[in-house]
Structure 1
Amino acid sequence: MKLFESAFSLSTTDFSRLRFGPFNHFCQRRWGKPAVTAQTRLEDRIRDLKLDTLATQIRKLRIIFKLRELMIDRKRGPFVSLQIMSRWRNFVGLRIGIGDFVHKYPHVFDVFPHPLRRNLCCRITGKMAALMKQEENVINDSEIETVQRLKKLLMMSANGTLHIHALRLISKELGLPDGFRESILVKYSDDFRLVDLEIVELVDKHENVAVAEVEQWREREFREKWLSEFDVKFAFPINFPTGYKIKGGFREKLRNWQRLPYAKPYEKRQGFGVRSCGGMHRHEKRAVAVLHELLSLTVEKLVDVERLVHFRRDFAIEVNIRELLLKHPGIFYISTKGNTQIVFLREAYAKGCLVEPNPIYIVRRKMQDLLLLGRRHTKQLESSMEIKEHVSAADNGDCLSKSEGSWVLPILQGFD
C-alpha cells in the first residue's frame, strides 16, 4: 500500500511537470524555418571582395570631398589649422581623428607647421587640386549628356516630376555640377520647368519613349547569340558572384522570372494591378527595371541605398527597395563596408573596374590612385615640394630660412 502511494505521488509530480511539456499549447516551441529578412540575406550572402574594396575607397574619397568643401567655406585662406579641422570629425563621418586621417594620405593633404604660430596646418596638395579642377571641367564639358540623363529620369517618373532634393542627394553620382538648379534646370527652360521651387517637371511629355540600357543589351544578345525572342524579350543580364551556391529548383524559378512580362521603365504601368494574379511579381520586376536603369544612368553605376528611398514615390515603387535589391544578387550587389550601404550594378563591373569607363570615372579613378599610394613615395613628394618652395620664394624675392621651419610669405595672407 505504501509503495502504491509513493508511486502515485511520483506520478502526480511528473504530471505537474508534463503540463509545461511540448504538447501543451501554453509553451509550444516553433520548429519552423526562421523568417527570411533583409538582415538575414545580408549576413548569408556571398561577398564580392573587389567591390567591397572599391566601396571603401569611394567612401574615403567622399570624406576628402567633404573636407575640401568645409575648407573652402572658411574663405580665409588656402589652408586650415588641424585644430579647427578636428571639429569636423563627426560631420564627415570619421571614426579616427582628423590628424591621423590626414597624415595617412600625404599625396592628398599637405600638412605643414605655420611659420609664425607654429601650429600644424593642412591644405589640399597640388596633384589632388588639379584632379578636382579637371573633374569640374569634365562635368562642365559633358553638359549635354547630363541634360539627357535628367530627361530620362523624369520620363521614368510616374507624373513626369522629381524632387530637386532627391536629385541633390545623388548629384555626384549623376555627374551634375554644383548649383545644377541654376546652371542646368534654369538654363534649359525649354526642357525643364520648376514647380514650387523644389520640384522639377519635364516640359515635353509627349516626346519619343527612350530606350533602356537593358533593352539594348537584349538586342545585342538576340543578334550575337541567336537566342529566341521568347527567352530574351524580358530578360536581364545575370552575373552571380564567385562561390554562389545554386539550390535545387533555382534555375527553373530564374527562367520563369526572366520570361515574366512587365511594363518597361519608360512606359506607363498599365494592364495589371498589384493585387491581381501575378501582378505583384510583374510590379517587382518593373521596380527592378527602374532601379537597373537608374543605376545605368549614373556615372559610376552605383548609388547609396538610403538615397534610393527618396525616389520611391516619384517612381511608383511600392516594395521595400533594400529587400528587392537583395532578392536579386545576380543583378545588384550591396556593399556594407562603412557607415552606409552602396549598391552596385553588377554587370557594369569586372574585376573591380568599370567595363565601359567615362571621362568623369577616369578622373575619379586617378583620385583613388592617390589614396592607394598612402605614404609610399613620400621622399619624392617632399623633394618636389622643396623645389617648388625655393622657386616660388626666389620669384617673390622673400624667403625665410628653412631651419626655422618657415614657408613662403605669400601663403600667410588670409590665414585663419
Structure 2
Amino acid sequence: MKTRSILRLSSSTISCKRPDSMFVSVRQISTGGKRPKKKIYHRDYQLDKVMDLQKKPSLILQLKSVIQSQNQQCLLLRDLEKEVGFVAKWNFMSVIEKYPSIFHGGGCSGKQLPFVTLTRKAKKIASEESEARILMEPILVKNLRKLLMLSIDCRVPLEKVEFIGSELGLPKDFKKSLILKYPEYFSIKDVNGRAYLNLENWDSSLAITAREERFAREGVLASGGGLKRVRIMKDGNYLGPFAFKMCFAAGFRPNKSYLEELQRWQKMEFPSPYLNARRFDVADPKARKRVVAVLHELLSLTMEKRMTSTQLDAFHSEYLLPSKLVLCLIKHHGIFYITNKGARSTVFLKEAYDGTRLVDKCPMLMFNDKFVTLSGRNEISSFNSMNSSQVVT
C-alpha cells in the first residue's frame, strides 16, 4: 500500500497553511468567546537540515564503494555511467573534481583511458573499514534478531529485509556473511513461493526496547524494581515506565488541555511491542499506544534512527501497523518527525537527534565520518562536527 501524502489527509484533521507548517486539531482552553486558534505542527528545521547535510557525504561514500568494487580499485570514467546512471554521473564527476584529497584522476595521455582512484591517504583510512565491519557484526546480528522478534510470526520476507538493508547497516552479502554464518539464529525458508527470513530461537533477554534501555541508563527504574518519584514536565515529558520522550519543535506551544491529555496518554500502560500483536484488539487505546512503541523500536534498530515512510509502510502486515500510518506519525509529532526534504519523505525518531547531531553512532557511521573528513571542505567538516558522538553497543 502506497504511503498517503500528508497533503491529501482529511482537511477536518489536518490542513496545510504554508510549506513550513501544518495545522493539527487539538482541544483548546476557553478564550472568552473568541474563536480558538489551532495549534501548529511546525517543521523541525534542524532535522530538515540533516537531509541537506548528508547529500555530499553520501556521494563521496557511494563513489568510494564503486571504486573499491573495481579491479585494481581503479574506475574508468567511461564506466561511471554504467555504475551510477547517466544523470547521477555528473554529480559524481563534480565530486571527483571538488575533492582531490580523496579522489585522484589520471589518464588521457597516450593510450591510457581517463580513470579515478582513491588517493594514498584515502586508501589508508579506507583500509580501516574492515575493522569497523567486524565491530558491527554483533550489533547487526542482535538488531536483525530483534527485527524478527517484533513481527507477528517471527519472520519477514527476505526482500523487505533487503529493502531496508542499508538503513540497518547490513552488508550487501549479508545472506552469506550473516544469515548462513549464524544458523542457530536465522534461516531462509520458502513460504508460498516467497523467501522469508525466519527466527530460529526466541531470546527473552533481547525483548527489551530501546526506550526501556534508556530508562535503565538514566536511572528512572529504581534498583528494587519500583520507580523513582517523578512529575510531568511542561514539555509533556514524564519519566514513567510507559512514557515516551517528547521533543516538540521550538515553535510548538502546547496548552493546558493538550498537556493534560498527553499526561493521561503518557501514564497509560501498554503491552510490550515484542508480544504478538494478534493478541490485542486494535480498537483498544492500549493497543494503539503499543503501535507507537513498535514504530519507535523499528526506527531505533536503524543506524541513523530514520527510514523513509515507504520503508516503514512496507512492514504493514508483518507488524500490523495502522492503515493510516502517516496520521499516526503526525499525531505523535513529539516522538516522530516527517520531512519531505530529499527524494523521499523520511521519518525521524526525534529523541535520537540533538539538533542536527545524531546522539549515538555505531562503528560504521564513525568510520564513514572519518573518511568523509578527508575532504577538508567546510560543509563536510560542519557535517562531522555536528555528528560526532559515542559508539552504540
Q: TM-score range, shorter-chain basis?
A: 0.7 to 0.9
1:208 deviation in Å? Answer: 5.0
TM-score (norm 1): 0.70
Structure 2 residue 306 is matched with structure 1 residue 309: no
1:264-283 alignment runs, 5 A limit? 264-269=272-277, 272-274=280-282, 276=283, 279=284, 281-283=285-287
- Contact 2:156-2:196 at 8 Å conserved across structures: yes
**1:135-177 deviation line (CA, Å, top 9, x unaligned):** 3321223322321111111111100001222222222332323
| CA contact 2:220–2:239 (8 Å) conserved in 1 | no
Which residue does 1:409 correspond to in 2?
Answer: none
How many matched pairs?
339
Distance across 2 between alignment mates of 1:96 and 1:337? 21
Counterpart residue number, 2:230: 227
Q: 1:369 to 1:73 in 2, by over 3 A?
A: closer
Residue matched to 2:336: 332
More helix by share: 1
Q: Please give the per-residue CA displacement for 1:338-383, whole angstroms capped at 9, x wherever unaligned.
A: 2123322221222322323332222122234345626999xxxxxx
Output the CA distance in 1 between the equivalents of 2:319 and 2:266. Answer: 22
Contact 1:139 1:360 in 2 (8 A): yes
- Residue in 2 that maps onto 1:348: 352
* d(CA) in 1 for partners of 2:349, 2:379: 32
Of the three residues 171, 177, 183, the one matched with 2:171 is 177
Pick one of 131, 135, 138 that aligns with 2:129: 135
Deviation by residue 1:243-273 (Cα, 9 ceiling, x = unmatched)? 2232452212211221233221111236641
Q: Does 1:199 align with 2:203?
A: no
Would the aligned equivalents of 1:86 and 1:99 in 2 still touch at CA under 8 Å? no
Equivalent residue number for residue 85 of structure 1: 80
Counterparts of 2:371 and 2:70 in 1: how far apart (Å)?
23
CA contact (8 A) 2:57 2:380 kept: no
Correspondent of 2:254 among 246, 250, 253: 246
- Please provide the CA RMSD for this pair: 3.4
- In structure 2, how many angstroms separate the alpha carbons of the residues matched to 1:106 and 1:97? 15
Q: Which amino acid aligns with 1:110?
A: H
Structure showing greater radius of gyration is 1
By how many angstroms is 1:101 displaced?
3.6
The aligned amino acid for 1:34 is: S
For residues 69 and 294 of structure 1, do their structure 2 counterparts lie closer, same or farther at Cα, with a shift above 3 Å needed?
same
Q: In structure 2, do the counterparts of structure 1 residues 50 and 369 end up closer, same or farther at CA, with 3 Å as the change threshold?
A: farther
The more displaced of 148-157 and 45-54 is 45-54
CA distance in 2, matches of 1:37, 1:127: 52
Structure 2: which amino acid aligns with 1:184?
L
Distance in 2 (alpha carbons) for counterparts of 1:353 and 1:206: 33
Distance 1:111 1:322, change over 3 A: farther
Tell me if 1:121 matches 2:115: yes
What does residue 53 of structure 2 align with? 57
SS of 2:277 mapped into structure 1: coil
Contact between 1:326 and 1:333, CA under 8 Å: does it hold in 2?
yes
Runs of 5+ in structure 2 lacking a partner? Answer: 1-9, 22-40, 233-237, 382-393
**Partners of 2:329 and 2:336 within 8 A in 1:** yes
Q: Shift of the alpha carbon at 1:298?
A: 2.1
Whole-angstrom distance in 2 between the partners of 1:362 and 1:65: 13
Q: 8 Å contact 1:301–1:348 — kept in the other structure?
A: yes
What is aligned with 1:408?
none
Secondary structure of the corresponding residue to residue 288 of structure 1: helix
SS at match of 1:347: helix
Cα distance in 2, alignment partners of residues 41 and 327 from structure 1: 19
Residue 255 (1) aligns with residue 263 (2): yes
Distance 1:97 1:308, change over 3 A: same
Relative to structure 1, is the Cα distance of residues 245 and 89 closer, same or farther in structure 2, using a 3 angstrom cutoff? farther
SS of the residue corresponding to residue 246 of structure 1 reads coil
What is the rounded CA distance, in whole Å, between the counterparts of 1:321 and 1:258 in structure 2? Answer: 20
Q: CA separation of 1:258/1:167 partners in 2, compared to 1, >3 Å: closer, same or farther?
A: same
Q: Deviations over 1:111-149 (max 9, x none)?
A: 334332476432233444444442332122332232111
Shift of 1:216: 2.8
Q: Identity percentage over the alignment? A: 27
Opposite residue 318 of structure 1, the aligned amino acid is: P
**1:289–1:72 Cα change, 3 Å:** same
Pairing 1:5-16 to 2, within 5 Å after superposition: none
1-side partners of 2:126 and 2:323: how far apart? Answer: 38
Alpha-carbon separation, structure 2, partners of 1:48 and 1:131:
34
Match of 1:217 in 2: 214
Q: State TM-score, norm by structure 2.
A: 0.73
Distance 2:19 2:73 in 1: 44
* 2: CA distance, partners of 1:371 / 1:312: 40
Q: CA deviation at 1:179?
A: 0.7
Match for residue 293 of structure 1 among 292, 297, 319: 297
SS at 2:348's partner residue?
A: strand
Distance in 2 of aligned mates of 1:118 and 1:305: 46
Partner AA of 1:244 in structure 2: F
Amino acid at match of 2:230: L
One-letter code of the match for 1:80?
A: L
Cα shift readout 1:158-200 (whole Å, capped 9, x = no counterpart): 0000122222222233232331111111111111121127211
Determine the structure 1 residue equivalent to 2:96.
102
Q: Which amino acid aligns with 1:254?
A: L
Q: Could you give the per-residue CA deviations for residues 75-97 of structure 1, whole angstroms, max 9, x where no partner exists? A: 4x533343442465657x74964
SS of the residue aligned with 1:148? helix
